[in-house]
Amino acid sequence: MKSGLNNRYLRSALSFVVPLLLVGCIWEAVSRSGLVKPVLLPPPSVVFPRIAYLFAARTADGQSVLLKHIVTSLYRLLIGFSTGAALGVGLGLAMGSNRFIYGYFNPIISILMPVPGITWAPILVLILGFGDPTLVTVTFIASFFPVVYNTCSGARSVERDLLLAAKIMGASRSTVFFRVLLPSSAPQLITGLKLGLARGWRTLIAVEMIASALWGLGYMIFDAKEYLRTDIIYGGIIVMAVIFAVLEKTVFGYVEGKTIEKWGMASQIV
């Protein structure tokens, strides 16, 4: 029984790693064979040591260079996303439970939502200057819209009967809110948070390239471009892929396990 379980984990791990190793080998072969200029496509045997080198390299104040880029980006993401998510969930639930609030904010949100967050960057640079205030504000804007949109549509799709049943049985407004409205809209709310985090992350990296601020992963790869350091760019892309995958798995894996999975509601795939 136990070995069967181990076997299954091993198999799923292998089926994940083997194709990636295969791609790594092809990549190595292509760039070693000289089909593509090594400057354009350095092999993995150069890129991965470069990541390790960046990790080991120290800044003037003794921090790891790569870690400082990562931590700076994550810190901006944390502040931008958490404020965007808090406001998004709040407004989304308010819109979902009140017709007038919905009527007022729905047109505004549906017209502002398709504006790519990055469009605000040059404008905010003029108002707030280069650096953290601009980067965090753009991340906030980018995260806010998916969260508010999904929270609102989740709260609006709560079955009327459930709300009425709770009210008939004498539930107070706060009980209805915390015991019915919030749990029923949880799957879509979490989908919104996931999308919001992804959107905030993507936008932050992009804006770090535009509103250059000396630190951050986006700045790292855009700066590397100036010196044709493709190994740093590919390394940066790999680091970004790993960081976001880990972030999403741990944060949302935990949240979903505590809420909608425990309540037996399926989570949507995005």
Residue 89 beta carbon to another protein: minimum distance, rounded to whole angstroms: 21
Residue with tokens 């009327």: 160
Supply angle C-alpha 82, 74, 108, rounded to 5: 40
Q: Which of 27, 140, 215, 234 binds another protein (CB under 8 A)?
A: 234
Does position 144 interact with another protein (CB under 8 A)? The reply is: no
Measured between its terminal Cα atoms, the distance across the chain in Å is: 33
Find the binding residues for another protein in span 42-81 (CB under 8 A): none
Q: Which of 15, 34, 61, 266 binds another protein (CB under 8 A)?
A: 15
Residue 236 beta carbon to another protein: minimum distance, rounded to whole angstroms: 7
Does position 27 interact with another protein (CB under 8 A)? The reply is: no
Q: Which of 51, 77, 89, 125 binds another protein (CB under 8 A)?
A: 125
Q: Which of 228, 257, 258, 263 binds another protein (CB under 8 A)?
A: 228
Output the CA–CA distances (angstroms, integers) from residue 121 to 73, 145, 198, 206, 211, in the order listed: 16, 16, 18, 10, 7
Does position 17 interact with another protein (CB under 8 A)? The reply is: yes
Which lies closer to another protein via its Cβ, residue 67 or residue 115?
Answer: 115
CA dist 210 and 118 (Å) reads: 9
| 143, 199 contact by CB (below 8 A) | yes
Partners of 64 in beta bridges = 58
Residue 11 beta carbon to another protein: minimum distance, rounded to whole angstroms: 11
35 secondary structure, DSSP code: S
Residue 170 beta carbon to another protein: minimum distance, rounded to whole angstroms: 32
Does position 190 interact with another protein (CB under 8 A)? The reply is: no
Does position 158 interact with another protein (CB under 8 A)? The reply is: no
Q: Site size for another protein, by CB under 8 A?
A: 58
Helix 132-156 and helix 120-128: axis angle, to 10°? 130
Residue 131 beta carbon to another protein: minimum distance, rounded to whole angstroms: 15
How many CB atoms lie under 10 A from the CB of residue 219? 23
Tokens encoding 183: 């749990």
User: In whole angstroms, what separates CA 43 from the centre of its chain?
Assistant: 28
> Which SS3 state, helix, strand or coil, does residue 64 take?
strand
List residues near another protein by CB under 8 A.
Answer: 15-17, 19-20, 22-23, 39-40, 103-108, 110-123, 125-127, 198, 201-203, 205-206, 209-210, 218, 221-222, 224-225, 228, 230, 233-234, 236-237, 240-241, 244-245, 248, 269-270
